[in-house]
Amino acid sequence: MSRIGKKPVPVPAGVTATVEGQKVSVKGPKGELVFVANDEISVKLEDNAVVVLPINDSKDARSKWGMSRTMVENILKGVKDGYERKLEINGVGYRASLQGKNLQLALGFSHDVVYEPPVGITIAVPKPTEIIVSGINKQQVGQVAAEIREYRGPEPYKGKGVKYAEERIVRKEGKKK
């Protein structure tokens, strides 16, 4: 039995959740999100909590059970509080700035990299070496942060590049004479 899947997901105050068959619609102060569960999972709304259960005891249904519950929990948290991911830029001359809604990155290339965020994602640059990606969809926030980091990932010798704020770079020793 899934230890994660068997816990009901409580609906926080200020958030309304509706379940229609396999579709879970959630509306909150930050916006609205929808999750469609797999056909091997049943979703019900009981006592102001969303209950996720497998339809049968097959291995496939049980493997999707915990993931479906986590997805419901993520959309409930997203519409109430939202998600954010912080990135740091290290390196001489490396910096970020906002150009309208687009993010402009100077990362040591012959040209500046301009990143256009998708709909539903906001990017803030409080300092030239710090980027904050925020939105209500956890997967989308993580994907945008990964795409920005991919332009110039941190290298192991000097630690230059774009890294997550909580990430620790394993440093390598340079050459010896």
Q: Are 114 and 52 in a shared domain?
A: no
Q: Compute the Cα dihedral for 65, 70, 73, 75 and give only its sign.
A: negative
- Note the pLDDT of residue 1: 65
- Note the pLDDT of residue 145: 96
- Note the pLDDT of residue 24: 93
Confidence (pTM)? 0.89
Task: Judge whether 17 and 11 are in contact, CB under 8 Å.
Answer: yes
- Note the pLDDT of residue 134: 96
Q: Which domain holds residue 75?
A: 9-80
In a domain, residue 103? The reply is: yes
Which of 53, 80, 107 marks a domain boundary?
Answer: 80
In a domain, residue 108? The reply is: yes
Which of 80, 105, 139 marks a domain boundary?
Answer: 80
Residue segments in the chain with a per-residue pLDDT below the cut of 50: none
Task: Judge whether 4 and 53 are in contact, CB under 8 Å.
Answer: no
Going by their DSSP bridges, the two strands 32-36 and 41-46 should be labelled as unpaired
Which of 64, 80, 96 marks a domain boundary?
Answer: 80
In a domain, residue 105? The reply is: yes
Q: Are 106 and 137 in a shared domain?
A: yes
Domain count within the chain:
2
- Note the pLDDT of residue 176: 86
